Structure 1
Amino acid sequence: MLGGYRIRNNAPYGVELALLASIILAGSSIPRAIKTGGKPLPVVLSVLATYGLWTFGSAFQNRV
């Protein structure tokens, strides 16, 4: 949320904060989705984290 706010206001480190949040979400939700065998909430969070990793990772790569 803070990353998105910083991106919208063109503040420094917005993309980096959003990418960090996506990494943390992916690190906690993807193993849980695998462990629980596909329950809806961990799977949706994993998909959201993967989308965030792709989106903010691409933005970070294009920025550097």
Structure 2
Amino acid sequence: GVVVRGAGTGTLRITGTRERGCSEHSIIPDRVEAGTFMIAATATGGDVIVKDVIPRHLEAVTAK
């Protein structure tokens, strides 16, 4: 287990403990990679299908 302090600040302090516990996490889609493919398709006049993204994370690319 660990103790994590500093969430929302510029520094995270992670300290290990002897106690073990369960945790859950998920890996979000890579917005930079998805945006790069979208821009490349636009620049070349091509088509691309981007699946399993979080649209809110691509607003900088999709905003008009």
TM bucket normalised to smaller: 0.3 to 0.5
Higher Cα Rg, which structure: 2
Higher strand share: 2
Higher helix share: 1
TM-score (norm 1): 0.37
Greater RCO, 1 or 2 (C-alpha within 8 Å, sep 6+): 1
TM-score (norm 2): 0.37
